[in-house]
Structure 1
Amino acid sequence: MKKIIKAGLFILASSTSVASLCVNAAEIRIAVDGSYAPFAQVNDKGELYGFDVDIAKALCKVMKADCKIQAQTWDGMIPGLKVGKFDAVISSMSITPERAKVVDFSERYYSNVLAFIGPKDKHIEVTDEDIKGLTIGAYRSTISSQYLEDHYADKVNIKLYDTQDLAYLDLKADRIDLLLSDKFPAYNWLSQSASNSSKLVANQDYEFKGEDIDINDQIAIALKKGSPLRQAFNQAIQDIRNDGTYQIINSKYFPFSIY
């Protein structure tokens, strides 16, 4: 009986400490896209902050890991991960079949839907007939841009941008009619105060158009194929969900759950 109890205690201890396995010996280098508010952006001091950054820090704390969070342009995320420039990407990356061929993914740490945004003074119904011939923008190499190309390439003019902020700028300058975006960064942009001149602001002139596009988009941590960190990150995600840390971070940025 003692042996059974000891074995059970060992299994319990192992399950609660798995998040610290394989992470104590070296620094974990984590890449984020610093131009994707409110998930990651850079303040006046050059420091990264945002939802993804807070999640990364919380996971590292649970894992008892020494982590270095660094900015990386979006197009360089997977190439940099593959060549060992960093160990993990915690940067609102969607799980897709194409990406899963070249990197491993953790369990999701939030879910995403797509949404169109456009000016309030333009009555646009998001139907094939109403948007025909319009110019629609999206952030390059994202689920939004892929969705546009897959579903609207023969109906609209597509304009892609190297950052989300550049897409916002063109929307405000009337160089595009609509922007297709992940909903949560768009929600953040629409919610910004017009009095804050240090940021791109949407004030009250723009709104969501049409219905949300739910494509079962799961956001996860990307890791090099075969990385031993996958199990540790999965356990850490569960831990911060269970102890309330995740909910505190979520409520800091959104008044609703994005999990």
Structure 2
Amino acid sequence: MKMKALFLALGMFSAFSTFAAGDLRYGVEAEYPPFESRNAAGQLEGFDIELGNAICAAAELKCGWVETSFDALIPGLTAKKFDAINSAMNITEQRRKSIDFTQPIYRIPSQLVGKADSGMQATPEGLKGKTIGVLQGSIQETFAKEHWEKHGVTVVSYKDQNMAWADLLNGRIDASLVMSAAGQAGFLSKPQGKGFGFIGKPVADDTILGSGIGYGIRKGDDATKKQLDTAIDKVRADGTITRLAAKYFPGIDVSVK
């Protein structure tokens, strides 16, 4: 499956190398439903996909998608393999050292998912001796390593979230720290999620977890930033963000405070 994804990504790189002015290439890690994933027909779908297309329409741009692993998104952007990161990436000061961002578009809390009857708590003391899975290169990885690892918690990083869910089911990890919407749609709402649930309240650390999700832009690419920021204002004003949030994240307030 990974080789198939690699060949697909390479093919997309080649296809998009001929993009003309007025086109935009999004970089995406497509194994993180309900934000971005592929359906049974092999088509990209999810909140970020629909919103990204709406933003392109508002900006009068033709959009394409380049798939890669989450931890390769920033290197891929700086190497000009695509023009913007659209993959549920939170805006943090650490990431700002490498890339620029559009304005924040939406915000999703992060929570632990584990056995409903585990008795675990989302605290250093409550997780001591436990093994927690995280997406490699994510803010959840940074949070877990900063707040929990030094207190006797083992943090395991995965190339994609589906690998973490598989290990959770097999008992190789005790819980996974994810965006709450991804935990609900990608695992808890599925048959294999029976007996699992959210552990405690959302974790908090604005310095690590960021000010909201936006699109990553290359340093100094002011033209793309301005174009996308203007389009984001349009889709916020016409209710597109609210409508898509209700579709993909029912009951979750995604507004940027």
The normalised TM-score by structure 2 is 0.84
Distance (whole Å) between structure 2 residues aligned to residue 107 and residue 238 of structure 1: 9
Instruction: Give structure 1 stretches of 5+ with no counterpart.
Output: 1-23, 195-200
- Provide the rounded CA distance (Å) in 1 between the counterparts of 2:88 and 2:234: 19
Deviation at residue 61 of structure 1 after TM alignment: 0.5
The equivalent of 2:39 in structure 1 is 43
CA RMSD of aligned residues (A): 1.7
The reply to whether residue 182 of structure 1 matches residue 175 of structure 2 is no
Please point out which of 109, 112, 130 is paired with 2:108. 112
Answer whether contact 1:27 1:67 (CA < 8 A) is retained: yes
Q: Indicate the residue corresponding to 2:24 in structure 1.
A: 28
Indicate which of 215, 223, 226 corresponds to 2:220.
226
CA distance in 2, matches of 1:109, 1:207: 27
In structure 1, the partner of 2:10 is: none
Aligned-partner SS, 1:110: coil
* Equivalence for 2:9: none
Indicate how the Cα distance of structure 1 residues 232 and 208 shifts in structure 2: closer, same or farther if over 3 A, else same.
same
Letter in structure 1 aligned against 2:202: D
When Rg is computed on C-alpha atoms for both structures, the one with the higher figure is 1
Q: Please say if 1:121 is aligned against 2:111.
A: no
**Aligned equivalents of 2:245 and 2:227: distance in 1?**
21
Between the two proteins, what is the percent identity of the paired residues? 30
* 1:76 has 2:72 as partner: yes
- 1:117/1:206 contact within 8 Å kept: yes
| Structure 1 contact 75–141 (Cα < 8 Å) conserved | yes
Shift of 1:190: 4.5
Cα–Cα, structure 1 residues 247 and 231, in superposed 2: closer, same or farther, change >3 Å?
Answer: same
Aligned 8 A contact 1:32 1:53 in 2: no
AA paired with 1:205? G
Structure 2: distance between partners of 1:150 and 1:189? 25
Quote the residue 1:255 is aligned against: 250
Q: 1:127 to 1:91 in 2, by over 3 A?
A: closer
- How far has the Cα of 1:191 moved from its partner? 4.4
- Supply the distance in 1 between the matched residues of 2:67 and 2:232 (Cα, whole angstroms): 22
Deviation at 1:147, TM superposition (A): 0.6
Uncovered stretches (5+) of structure 2, i.e. residues with no partner? 1-19
Mean Cα deviation higher: 179-188 or 139-148:
179-188
How far apart, in 1, do the equivalents of 2:243 and 2:126 lie? 41
| Residue in structure 2 matched with residue 244 of structure 1 by the alignment | 239
Deviation at 1:143, TM superposition (A): 0.5
Counterpart-to-counterpart distance in 2, 1:193 and 1:182: 16
Q: Residue by residue, what CA displacement relative to the aligned partner does 1:94-126 show, whole Å, maximum 9, x if unpaired?
A: 112221122110001111322111112322233
Alignment of structure 1 residues 190-201 onto 2, 5 Å: 190-194=187-191, 201=192
Cα deviation for residue 215 of structure 1 reads 2.8
Give the alignment partner of residue 214 of structure 1, picking from 204, 210, 223: 204
| Contact 1:118/1:179, CA 8 A, preserved across alignment | yes
How many matched pairs? Answer: 230
SS of the aligned residue for 1:128 comes to coil
Is the CA contact 1:126–1:209 (under 8 Å) kept in the aligned structure 2?
Answer: yes
- Provide the TM-score with structure 1 as the length reference: 0.84
Task: Determine which structure has the larger strand proportion and give its number.
Answer: 1
Cα distance, 1:151–1:193 mapped onto 2, change above 3 Å: closer
Take 1:80 and 1:157, find their aligned partners in 2: how far apart are those partners?
A: 29
